[in-house]
């Protein structure tokens, strides 16, 4: 073996040894870290169980024991946060005052509020998430301040946190003030509404009228599923909007109310120049229409646009007495209308 080959073999052996040693050290670190976390988790679970079962007289002592054990350790605070969140929303809501005292003495509230000032957007978003999950209402203003962030993920988690805190006026103010700067999809708004702990009806009332057309459309589309008749005046007003999407959202929301009192407004929208609007109105009449809609739907069944024809025929057949009326169209001369009715009836068999 040459001297050069010997050096290469020696270097290779050294690298393999270092690599193997790194694997062993990593495994040992992971093993001991896992055991350490498991121990902390068990200890904090025991302490928190004592807190849950403590009487009013015993509560302060239980809180003090937890605070002494947690100390200044961020890791212990994170584990304790996880334990509390795992108790569920009902527990957190019904024990709000007790938990508020625990948050103060263990430093959890201060710890999470400080996360909102982190230079890392991920930490800010995580802080928002935990503040919302734990329902720490005194942090509302601190979360509110994050709406100036340039990171959409931070803004989204801040909105979710505000929703979980349940103040309709505060959340409405944030949405309205920032609607021209933040981009919220329909799905995001629905998720925010889903976790909102306050009155959704009050939130819509405080938000819709003050929003721009884009956010109005999204809010009305989301509100439709809740069937709040108190919002009907907004829906009717925006039928005259120049914004097609807002107009369509309002039509669909009116239809979802399933109230024949709004039939006349939907019939009027069948005359709109935009075929998408006519199609939405025709479809919404299946829940709202009466025999007063028969003639208008018959006419729409012959519309130049396929979707308008289809929706009109489907609604006509769905309204009580509509099938008998539709049978007359089959004997008529309008080929489009006949085909639309036949297609709907075949699919309904």
Model pLDDT for residues 98-157, shown as the tens digit of each residue: 999 999 999 999 999 999 999 999 999 999 999 999 999 999 999 999 988 888 889 999
Q: 210: buried, middle or exposed (CB in 10 Å: 19+, 13-18, 0-12)?
A: middle
| Closest to 319 (Cα-Cα) out of 258, 270, 276 | 258
Contact in structure between 158 and 147 (CB atoms under 8 Å)? yes
pLDDT at position 139, please? 94
Query: Could you give the CA distance from residue 161 to residue 159 in angstroms, rounded to a whole number?
Result: 5
Question: Has residue 1 got a pLDDT over 60?
Answer: no
Residue holding tokens 């108190």?
230
Percentage of residues of the chain with pLDDT beyond 90: 65
Alpha helix stretches (DSSP H) within 54-167: 56-70, 74-86, 89-94, 96-106, 108-115, 121-133, 140-144, 152-165
| Closest to 235 (Cα-Cα) out of 205, 260, 198 | 205
Give residue-wise pLDDT tens across range 29-73: 564 556 666 778 889 999 999 999 998 889 999 999 999 999 999
> Is 267 within the bounds of a domain?
no
Model confidence at 6, pLDDT cuts 50, 70, 90, reads: low
pLDDT at position 15, please? 66
Question: Has residue 160 got a pLDDT over 90?
Answer: yes
Contact in structure between 167 and 155 (CB atoms under 8 Å)? no
Query: Could you give the CA distance from residue 265 to residue 260 in angstroms, rounded to a whole number?
Result: 10
C-alpha distances in Å from residue 272, one per residue of 25, 244, 248, 302, 311: 72, 10, 11, 15, 15
- Mean pLDDT of all residues belonging to the chain: 88
Find the radius of gyration of the CA atoms of the chain. Answer: 31
> Is 102 within the bounds of a domain?
yes
> Is 101 within the bounds of a domain?
yes
Q: SS3 for 17?
A: helix
- How many domains does the chain fold into? 1
How many CB atoms sit inside 10 A of residue 33's CB?
Answer: 10
Contact in structure between 44 and 76 (CB atoms under 8 Å)? yes
Residue holding tokens 């509404």?
193
> Is 100 within the bounds of a domain?
yes
pLDDT at position 136, please? 96
Model confidence at 4, pLDDT cuts 50, 70, 90, reads: low
Q: Name residues whose C-beta falls within 8 Å of residue 268's C-beta, 6 or more positions apart in sequence.
A: 239
**Parent domain of 136:** 37-51+60-145
Give the count of alpha carbons within 13 A of 141, CB side only.
Answer: 1
> Is 226 within the bounds of a domain?
no
227 DSSP assignment: T
211 DSSP assignment: S
> Is 103 within the bounds of a domain?
yes
> Is 124 within the bounds of a domain?
yes
> Is 256 within the bounds of a domain?
no
User: How far from each other are the two terminal CA atoms of the chain, in whole angstroms?
Assistant: 88
pLDDT at position 345, please? 73
Contact in structure between 325 and 297 (CB atoms under 8 Å)? no
């Amino acid at each position: 073996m040459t001297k050069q080959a010997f050096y290469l073999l020696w270097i290779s052996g050294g690298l393999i040894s270092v690599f193997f040693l790194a694997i062993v050290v990593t495994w040992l670190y992971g093993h001991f870290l896992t055991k350490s976390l498991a121990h902390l988790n068990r200890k904090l679970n025991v302490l928190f169980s004592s807190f849950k079962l403590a009487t009013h007289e015993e509560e302060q002592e239980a809180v003090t024991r937890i605070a002494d054990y947690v100390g200044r350790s961020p890791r212990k605070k994170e584990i304790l946060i996880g334990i509390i969140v795992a108790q569920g929303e009902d527990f957190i809501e019904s024990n709000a005052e007790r938990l508020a005292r625990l948050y103060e003495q263990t430093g959890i509230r201060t710890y999470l509020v400080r996360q909102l000032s982190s230079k890392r957007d991920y930490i800010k978003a995580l802080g928002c998430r935990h503040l919302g999950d734990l329902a720490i209402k005194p942090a509302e203003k601190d979360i509110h301040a994050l709406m100036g962030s340039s990171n959409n993920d931070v803004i989204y988690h801040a909105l979710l946190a505000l929703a979980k805190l349940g103040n309709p006026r505060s959340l409405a103010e944030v949405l309205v003030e920032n609607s021209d700067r933040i981009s919220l999809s329909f799905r995001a708004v629905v998720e925010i509404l889903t976790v909102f702990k306050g009155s959704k009806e009050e939130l819509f009332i405080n938000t819709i009228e003050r929003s721009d057309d884009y956010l109005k459309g999204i809010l009305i589309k989301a509100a439709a599923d809740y069937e709040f008749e108190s919002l009907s005046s907004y829906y009717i007003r925006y039928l005259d909007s120049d914004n097609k999407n807002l107009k369509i959202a309002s039509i669909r929301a009116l239809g979802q109310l399933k109230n024949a009192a709004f039939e006349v407004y939907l019939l009027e929208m069948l005359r709109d120049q935009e075929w998408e609007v006519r199609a939405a109105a025709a479809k919404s009449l299946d829940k709202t229409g009466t025999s007063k809609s028969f003639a208008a739907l018959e006419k729409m069944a012959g519309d130049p646009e396929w979707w308008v024809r289809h929706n009109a025929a489907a609604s006509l057949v769905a309204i009580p007495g509509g099938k008998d009326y539709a049978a007359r169209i089959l004997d008529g001369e309008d080929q489009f209308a006949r085909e639309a009715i036949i297609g709907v009836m075949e699919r309904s068999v």
